[in-house]
Chains A and B, each alone.
Chain A
């Protein structure tokens, strides 16, 4: 069985050259193995280091997704109609993973469906705060744009919602998502963002220009 896929590009973190990559629908067992054997040791190591230096508490936020159990999530939801999964692969490694939920409703257009980004995570070697020089840049942009496109494809007019830590919040603002401020449902100031149909259309236009 083959997963649907298409070719995309990432940017080499050293040479800034475009490198061919592949975006798959579905997260395979190989992706899960990469997460467990390649990502987690780096994430947990970074978390351990951060915990050993409590004075630099902000480092904890860099590796807060070390506890995400992708394997459990994917195995739970891979046959669910309410979830879709995506993986970016490049240079024989899993570079990013994303789980989308299709059951959420919009705050901008109450009652309307949207794509909710339940989890979006980038390989640790691509994170500027974990390594001196990220191996590849652009994984987040490619996955986020895939979420917008999936919303269009699902008939949700490009609406996308998500919760972000302060560290990514500015980037989402630059994607012209509307902020609803810190969500009181979460104690650590997670900010809720939503992309309107108008902005989604403009986003896709910008991408293809």
Chain B
């Protein structure tokens, strides 16, 4: 991989990006190819990206996620991060997401995190994505037991920054339930 010169922070507000030292690939296509490509593409709408998920509409999923479940999820996210000993900044860097999103996930009840961020969180915590997305309200909740378990977690865990022995046990139990849910 070629090294590219990084712009300084003072360039952040500029409306353009220019990567000095990096050649831009310049497509040299024949007119025949353009015509053939258009002939094929006219039958399709082309898109790509992991965020092009067909989630149920936010109103549907939130309606099935009571506010106390949303509170429980935020608390769960906070405790999980503490359990792996990472700061918000460290976790954001590790999974390549915005730190602001992680702060909102942990602190703002009902915050709808982007699907990509949730998928990456599920991956770093080694949790099944489908169950995780349900708890996060990104997909329609289909399992009341999961909701009940996260409520129990929210009610029984306290707000200390360091996990107590009881909290670790509680956290471990909830993780097991979520993993079991995915395998049933």
Contacts and interface: CB of A to CB of B under 8 A. Distances in A.
A145 B29 contact: yes
Interface in A1-26: 1-6, 8-11, 13, 16, 18, 23, 25-26
Nearest to A18: B34
B24 interface: yes
B45 A129 contact: yes
B74 interface: no
Contacts of A62: 45
B46 A139 contact: yes
Contacts of A207: 27-30, 33
Given A141-B38, A168-B44, A187-B133, A152 B25 contact: yes
A102 interface: yes
Nearest to B12: A79
Interface in B33-64: 33-35, 37-38, 40-55, 57
B144 interface: no
A194 B15 CA distance: 32
Contacts, number: 207
Contact of B37 (A1, A85, A138): A138
A47 B16 CA distance: 31
Contacts of B84: none
B16 A26 contact: yes
Interface residues of A: mostly helix, strand, loop or mixed?
A: mixed
A28 interface: yes
- Number of contact residues on B: which range applies? 35 or more
A11 to B, nearest CB: 4
A171 B41 contact: yes
B88 to A, nearest CB: 15
A142 interface: yes
B57 A51 contact: yes
Given A121-B47, A168-B48, 16 more contacts: A1-B16, A3-B17, A11-B35, A26-B17, A64-B52, A67-B51, A79-B12, A117-B49, A119-B49, A119-B51, A130-B45, A139-B41, A140-B46, A142-B27, A184-B129, A206-B33
Which 8 interchain pairs have the tightest Cβ spacing? A140-B46, A149-B25, A11-B38, A29-B15, A141-B37, A26-B17, A120-B48, A4-B24
Interface of A: 1-6, 8-11, 13, 16, 18, 23, 25-30, 51, 60-62, 64-65, 67-69, 72, 75-76, 78-79, 81-82, 84-85, 99, 102-103, 113, 117-122, 127-130, 134, 137-146, 149-150, 152-156, 162-165, 167-168, 170-172, 174, 184-188, 190, 206-209
